[in-house]
Amino acid sequence: MAEEKKQPEKEKKKADKGKTEDILAQKGSYKTVKYPLSTEKSIRLMESENKLIFVVNKNSKKPEIKKAIEDMFKVKVLKVNTFISHKNEKRAYVQFSPETPAIDIATQLGLM
């Protein structure tokens, strides 16, 4: 009888494991991208080149940043450029596809 109870618990754990992996993947996106920058330069880039600037984890690579932004905002990213500032923080200049204007994403974030 004890063995019969263990089998359904294992099945439940397998079902929960898929949900957990999805949640961890989402949390990974939020560990990669810290916050967006709202400066005069970022506003100018947003309007002219369809780009946003994010402060990201210093250990993040460009493909990780691209995937995190695409997962978080459900958009297509064309290009990511990174830069380490004099304050020793890593910034990502993210260019979005023409179908998704950066201004719309900035509005979702409350920057505009």
- pLDDT, one tens digit per residue, over 34-68 is 999 999 999 999 999 999 999 999 999 999 999 99
Q: Between the CA atoms of 67, 76, 87 and 83, what dihedral angle is there, to the nearest 10 degrees?
A: 90
> Where do the domains of the chain lie?
2-109
Of residues 99 and 5, which shows the higher confidence score? 99
Find the largest Cα–Cα distance for the chain: 69
Give the pLDDT score at 26.
58
CATH superfamily placement of domain 2-109: RRM (RNA recognition motif) domain (3.30.70.330)
Q: Are 70 and 77 in contact (CB under 8 A)?
A: yes
C-alpha–C-alpha distance, residues 112 and 108, integer Å: 8
Q: Residue 51 is inside which H or E element, if any?
A: strand 51-56
Read off the pTM.
0.75
Helices 40-49, 102-109: axis angle to 10 degrees equals: 140
